[in-house]
Structure 1
Amino acid sequence: MFFKRNLSTFAFISLLFLAVFALSGCGSPKSSPETPDNGVHPSGETELTGSITVVGSTSVQPVSDLLAEAFMDEHPGTNIYVQGGGSSAGIRAADDGAAEIGASSRDLKDDEKHLKQYIIAKDGIAVVVHPSSNVSDLTIEQIRDIYAGNITNWSEAGGSNELIIVVTREEGSGTRSAFEEIVMGKDAITGKAIVQNSTGAVVTTVAGDKNAIGYISLASLKENVKALKVEGVEVTRDNIAAGSYKVARPFIYVTKGEPAGLAKSFLDFVLSPDAQGIIEQAGLVSVN
């Protein structure tokens, strides 16, 4: 009886030992290279996470969307939110802290130069008309006179005997500010102009009216409108880079002070050769 009892006790202890050993082998498996648990890639680089917002120019917005998409593809733990609103709105958002990065399609004004700026690309402002228009080339003086209301009929600029429908951007638009600085000088845009609050709205208006004229970013140029030569020079990337096309301006990102964290990583990416290639594919001129 004693022998049987000891044998049973020994068997129980042996089973218990095996159970504990088995459980210890299932406790906490090592992290696989595919699923690191310390926020570090197998390469040793810290994985980026978090979100930032880029707000501003509707001309810069399409390329910002492309850059944000490419960055998020490389860093799946991040979110880059891109919004329009105009250059002035973007600059204010960065200055007020409402956005990490502001986007502008004009140079900074004196009271905005306390912000840190990064020129990410160069862009031409295309002067556009309806594809059916028989006008193909205007001087800067002619464009100024049209927008000032001094030339009101296309026949005065080598076109048909039709009233000119002038389309412009809203106050605060970076494209308008650049256009006013480069083309208008001290002359004001006529109060009879149709005012649109985005690049897309200008394109739609001009594409829908055979007598309309507008101005847009080269990157937003579509086949449903025709770009005019200015002073005999086509609006192309090569001509903008060479300085021969005069109606050109920078695309700028701005931050309040030195950027840090995800904002800095995104800006570093935007200025990298890969991202500048994306910018060129979008029809803009690289800064590299």
Structure 2
Amino acid sequence: MMKNVKLSPILALILVCTLALSALLASGCGASSQSSQNGETTSKSGLKGELTISGSTSMEEVNNALADAFMAKNPDVKINVQALGSSQGIQAVSEGSAQIGASSRALKDDEKTKTPDLKEIAIAMDGIAVVINPANAIADLKTDDIKKIYTGEISNWKDLGGSDTPITVVRREDGSGTLDAFSELIMGGKTRDIKYVSSAVIQNSTGAVMSSVAGDPGAIGFASMGAVDSKLKAVKVDGIAATPGNVLNKTYRAQRPFVYVTKGDAAGLTKAFIDFALSAEGQKAVSEAKAIPLNK
């Protein structure tokens, strides 16, 4: 028979603290396990690895927004976003240095011929805004007038009802998806077939175009609709304002898809990211990045 053991007050206190600490540790382990199961500290998807998205400068904000949202859900995934231009992004995918090419235009026939297994999927829509400096009183331009400005037939704003100010033409570099879309949708042809005015200021990014136009009262340029801010003024084209609503109802003519390009069918981490971009959560990120979601 067990004898009653009388503990000193100090030993009793140590025993109580030990039991309490054991209970606390057990509770903490259980909470940690539960937290992992709920995806709060550990991704339930189990996705891990690195993904490179290379391409359009017009899509840079969209790509970053989607990448940030996806990495927040999948902490073991790292996504690198490179804004080098649509053609460069497609080339990177073709050569295997990127998993996703971000293109602000559809694939060209020669790109499909060169790399037959390229696949493309639209993840958003965009409008190309024709922009001028806010000091310019012009509010509306006809498509034909824009063509004449960009080919050099019209070189002063006074010829269009504006002030006696020489027009500074600003455009994107050859190979830009935005330039190719502008050539097709506004100029009515392929970039290689259009004789753009030789005096045009050529910029290699959306931001550079915006800065050029914002700093020159006589300038005109074009850029992704979502990039236009208070430093620029988007003119109406043929009486139609450059707004998301007019892109969706197809009344604004200068509209294009934002496309993700892969080599072969997307799989693994690449597929998971594209699926996320097309999900309700991904399309919300697209909208917050000022592009036009497909499901709006």
* TM-score, scaled to structure 2: 0.83
Q: Please list, as runs of the form range in 1=range in 2, the aligned pairs for 1:257-276 lying within 5 A after superposition.
A: 257-276=264-283
Q: Tell me the amino acid that sits aligned with residue 233 of structure 2.
A: K
Q: Is the 8 A contact 1:128 1:206 kept in 2?
A: yes
CA contact (8 A) 1:240 1:248 kept: yes
For the residue of structure 1 that corresponds to 2:146, the secondary structure is helix
Equivalent in the alignment of 2:139: 136
SS of residue in 2 equivalent to 1:146: helix
Deviations 1:256-288 (A, max 9, x none): 001111111100000001111221233222112
2:179 alignment partner in structure 1: 176
Q: What is the SS of the residue equivalent to 1:117?
A: strand
Q: Deviations for 1:97-150, whole angstroms, at most 9, x for unmatched residues?
A: 110000000111112233111101110000000011100100111101100111
Alignment-derived partner of residue 78 in structure 1: 77
Instruction: In structure 1, give the amino acid aligned to 2:198.
Output: G
Q: What's the offset of the Cα at 1:76?
A: 1.1
Shift, 1:191, TM fit:
1.3
1:59/1:248 CA distance change after superposition, 3 Å: same
Counterpart of 2:102 in structure 1 is 103
The aligned residue for residue 230 of structure 1 is: 237
In structure 1, the partner of 2:196 is 189
Which residue type is aligned with residue 152 of structure 2?
G
Q: Which runs of 5+ in 1 are unaligned?
A: 1-28
Q: What residue in structure 2 maps to residue 63 of structure 1?
A: 62
1:152-209 alpha-carbon deviations (Å, 9 max, x no partner): 0001112111110000000010000000111112432111100000000000010000
Whether contact under 8 Å (2:45, 2:74) holds in the other structure is no
| Structure 1 partner of 2:209 | 202
State the 4+ residue runs in structure 1 displaced beyond 6 angstroms.
Answer: none
RMSD over aligned CA atoms reads 2.0
Aligned-partner Cα distance in 1 for 2:174–2:76: 37
The 8 Å contact of residues 48 and 74 in structure 2, kept in 1 or not, is answered as yes
Within 5 A, what are the aligned runs for 1:137-156? 137-156=140-159
State, as a whole percentage, how many aligned pairs show the same letter. 46
Amino acid paired to 2:54: V
Match of 2:225 among 218, 221, 224: 218
Contact 1:104–1:253 (Cα < 8 Å) also in 2: yes
Cα deviation for residue 33 of structure 1 reads 6.1
Corresponding residue SS for 1:59: coil
CA distance in 1, matches of 2:180, 2:48: 36
Unaligned runs of 5+ in 2: 1-25
Aligned-pair CA distance for 1:42: 5.3
TM-score when normalising by structure 1: 0.85
> Which residue in 2 is equivalent to 1:247?
254
- Which stretch shows the higher mean deviation, 182-191 or 42-51? 42-51
CA distance in 1, matches of 2:177, 2:257: 10
The residue number in structure 2 matching 1:124 is 127
